[in-house]
Amino acid sequence: MTKTIHVLNSDSTAQILEKSKIKGAIVVWREMLCEGALHKEVGSDEFWIKRYSYFEKEVGIERIDYFDTTIKEIVKLEDVSNYNEVVLWFEYDLFCQVNLLALCTYLLDNYVKKATYYLVCTENEKGTKHLQSLSNYSSEEFTTLYNTKITLSKANLEYAKTCWNVYVENNFEELKNFNFNKTSKFQYLQQTMKQHLLRFKSENGLNQIENKVLEIINLNLFSKREIIENLLTWQQKETIYGFGDLQFFIYLKKLKKYYTIKDKKYYLNEKGYAKINQ
């Protein structure tokens, strides 16, 4: 009898899967490894210490809450020897692809020879030119997605680990020159890493997202909520970051020296105007 464990990119994906006819245990990968300090050894003490520190200082999440929501889930994957199918459900954007690399690294370090590893990743489907998120599918359509899953060999997991190590090093030239297209199994890696390169500082000292935040503030008298909504719209149309409200709030907060707030509306100050005009 086949025993399956599904590793999902989010709780919203888990809700859809639970309503489907697909059987198996569920683990939700509640991390955003595209942000904050990292360590190559996923799941090591050093790895968790860096993540604890990031979420506590930058996001405002207490250690106990991070442990309960994130670590408790991830450590379930330390031993998957009771399963003969391990299915990873992830999307095409930078947020998901970085998490996927870390997950593959973690699974490789705890590799189970008798298990078969699979990947479900959405594409251009449903009569639209846009890449689809898992949340765009119904529970019935998840069965079709599941039936199109691709097999990940041990060599594929090893390649993902190599890519993860390159990402963690975060050297611009190495990222730019590394071949993330070496296998078709991870078909979105190259484009997501090109997107990541735009998070390095440009000539004015800010990256693409930071410049966009100031550009939006300069457009109109927006509230914080309206700024985030503009960023989400821009992201969907022009990028493949895959970020949520929280990440954009953090970017906005880090740029506070470039704006003032009056009556809950944001205004560029002299530093902000000077920065966007560099």
DSSP 243-258: --HHHHHHHHHHTGGG
- Which pLDDT belongs to residue 125? 56
Q: Is the pLDDT of residue 128 over 60?
A: no
Q: What is the pLDDT of residues 52-86, one digit of tens each?
A: 999 999 999 999 999 999 999 999 999 999 999 99
Percent of the chain exceeding pLDDT 70 equals 97
Query: Do the bridges between strand 116-121 and strand 85-90 make them parallel or antiparallel, or are there none, so unpaired?
Result: parallel
Q: Determine the pLDDT at residue 1.
A: 74
Asked whether residue 16 carries a pLDDT value surpassing 70, the answer given is yes
Give the rounded distance of the alpha carbon of 144 from its chain centre. 24
How far, in whole angstroms, is CA 135 from its chain's centroid? 15
Alpha-carbon 253 to chain mean position: 20
Expressed in percent and rounded to 5, the helix, strand and coil fractions of the chain are: 55, 10, 35
